[in-house]
Structure 1
């Protein structure tokens, strides 16, 4: 075991979100003394850890960032690593599929993602999170798992399979932080925002928009505020989301600290919510007159925006448009499947991705390119 478990965290991933999170921790470590940075290559992990260490030096803090090489298949080395480190938190910031690919590339795979919606990548987003929860249960039962990869749907799907994830990061927290900045609010406790991952972009139908309350009263100008927020580059929004996660993570692991803000998928609920953390206990902080069931229903009614729904029966259902887009590009995925099917579907999607990344046709044979 390395260090004091109560002050030891681990971050799985070395991408942009993980880097921002680590920089935030370097400047605000609180009682955390060691953060283990787990990357797919040793050099990448060392570089990212060194960057975070540099920020800690600038901030005058004492947190230590320790790199670890997990290799190209991280789950193979995760169990022995967790058994050795026993961190309080494992924060998953890595998946086989980057959310930015649909926006930044022009292969047939990128075209498929644009047509099908982000929910089509659910099996890929869930892969490392699922493996991480299983690895912790086996090798480090005291470690809590927090997920930054499409938590709005990944976390509920894993909970339906009996695999607990405490909460997610980003998404609603990102939008809440940016909204408070636009409104000039210094205290996020005045804002209650219900927002799904899909609300990072404006919905086609205003009835599908996020909802917010300011000081308990409906925030009627929310669509206008969010329109302004959404003009920010996605990388900037991700940075806000990563930094906003730091005080929430501290409150989860230190009973002396508290947090009032927003998090996606607390305790496996779909979508993002206003929350409070006191004594390391995470609870909802809903606007006056709204029940937990009503808040969950709000998000279930908007899951279609990402192209996949999780029913109360525990089954995942692709929307007709998403399923049709996948079939048009050669994906033989069922329209309805169980959370336990996600690993097999992930392997199928990876094989399809390998093929489609090599091509750059204008459209599949049976589907025209949209506007």
Structure 2
């Protein structure tokens, strides 16, 4: 019997921390690192093997160069790897750009909200998902790139996506540690990607329950949001190892939190078993209520995404965008993804050549998850 396998697409900070965490898993796993940069893939795979050796863990780690722009090559690679789960940690926008290469583009995103990057976050994972449908339909697609908003769009396009990583899972992992919980089972948290930052209105704050009772964790959330983003990113990646292992049958049932299970908007408490992710909502909260609550909180990112994949830009986000793109749409469907992505890339190229405008006020922190090709 072959051992469970997980492929990780990407070599950025989140992907690297995830590979290291999986490499230390106590049960056999076959890990694969996919990247357009063969050297980076080889380096990360070697680092994964080092972590496995240092801890005496059994996972193996192999590097592969991938060309997602060439469907034939991508199909052949995925058919060769035939992973139980493919985790996509690569997109066309990195939140790190805000600090590494500030420009009029990053200033626009700071004003309009992270939701504006949705088309750039979705392209790579969509290509991977389409390839899986063609050649390895049993491979479970897991998205680490803005999953709270991207996964509903993928689902609307007929690309099955099992769940996301990070975001609500990062918040829950840190909260469980702060509360001295043994595992996350006593904790149930409803939180969107936007809740990585403090909402302007207390009414928009994440909702939490402990042992089935509603509780206010605002103080703890405020404290963890002040932590270094790179450290929180690493926690989120490390916390992803347990649900991924459970998902591919290499670990016990996991009671935790994940964003966008089965293409739902936002983040939820879940139970993860072999090839299955189920919601574990608190008493008195229905599935439809939880979905509606998360859909509404998406507006805090500047773009709310309905469960049918319709994206609606909030008025402030649209106003900021139309200063640079006068006829930009205020609402679009999943089928508009390709041309929107192309137009956003052209806009980005133009704005990257312009300096950051004089600040008009405080801007939000960058997103937790950094992704790289």
CA contact (8 A) 1:308 1:319 kept: yes
Unaligned runs of 5+ in 2: 363-373
Q: Helix, strand or coil for the counterpart of 1:348?
A: helix
CA contact (8 A) 1:161 1:339 kept: yes
Unaligned runs of 5+ in 1: none
Evaluate the alpha carbon distance shift between residue 60 and residue 203 of structure 1 in structure 2; reply closer, same or farther with a 3 A threshold: same
Q: Helix, strand or coil for the counterpart of 1:198?
A: helix
- Counterpart in 1 of 2:360? 369
- Counterpart in 1 of 2:225? 230
Q: So what's the TM-score if we normalise by structure 2?
A: 0.92
- Counterpart in 1 of 2:320? 325
Q: Within 1, Cα distance between the matches of 2:93 and 2:312?
A: 20
1:21 pairs with one of 18, 25, 47: 18
> How many Å apart are 1:71 and its aligned residue?
4.3
Query: Is 1:207 aligned with 2:203?
Result: yes
Evaluate the alpha carbon distance shift between residue 168 and residue 360 of structure 1 in structure 2; reply closer, same or farther with a 3 A threshold: same
Q: Helix, strand or coil for the counterpart of 1:305?
A: helix
CA contact (8 A) 1:255 1:278 kept: no
CA contact (8 A) 2:120 2:341 kept: yes
- Counterpart in 1 of 2:369? none
CA contact (8 A) 1:75 1:132 kept: no
CA contact (8 A) 1:326 1:332 kept: no
**Equivalences for residues 129-144 of structure 1 within 5 A:** 129-144=125-140
Q: Helix, strand or coil for the counterpart of 1:262?
A: strand
Q: Within 2, Cα distance between the matches of 1:205 and 1:93?
A: 31
Q: Within 1, Cα distance between the matches of 2:42 and 2:72?
A: 20
- Counterpart in 2 of 1:167? 163
1:79 pairs with one of 75, 78, 86: 75
Q: Helix, strand or coil for the counterpart of 2:127?
A: helix
- Counterpart in 1 of 2:371? none
CA contact (8 A) 2:194 2:300 kept: yes
Query: Is 1:334 aligned with 2:325?
Result: no
Evaluate the alpha carbon distance shift between residue 114 and residue 104 of structure 1 in structure 2; reply closer, same or farther with a 3 A threshold: farther
Q: Within 2, Cα distance between the matches of 1:87 and 1:217?
A: 39
- Counterpart in 1 of 2:365? none
Name the structure, 1 or 2, with higher relative contact order (CA <8 Å, separation 6+). Answer: 2
Q: Within 2, Cα distance between the matches of 1:103 and 1:299?
A: 29
2:245 pairs with one of 245, 250, 253: 250
Query: Is 1:148 aligned with 2:144?
Result: yes
Q: So what's the TM-score if we normalise by structure 1?
A: 0.93
Q: Helix, strand or coil for the counterpart of 1:11?
A: strand
1:274 pairs with one of 269, 272, 286: 269
- Counterpart in 1 of 2:366? none
CA contact (8 A) 2:68 2:128 kept: no
Aligned length: 362
CA contact (8 A) 1:46 1:67 kept: yes
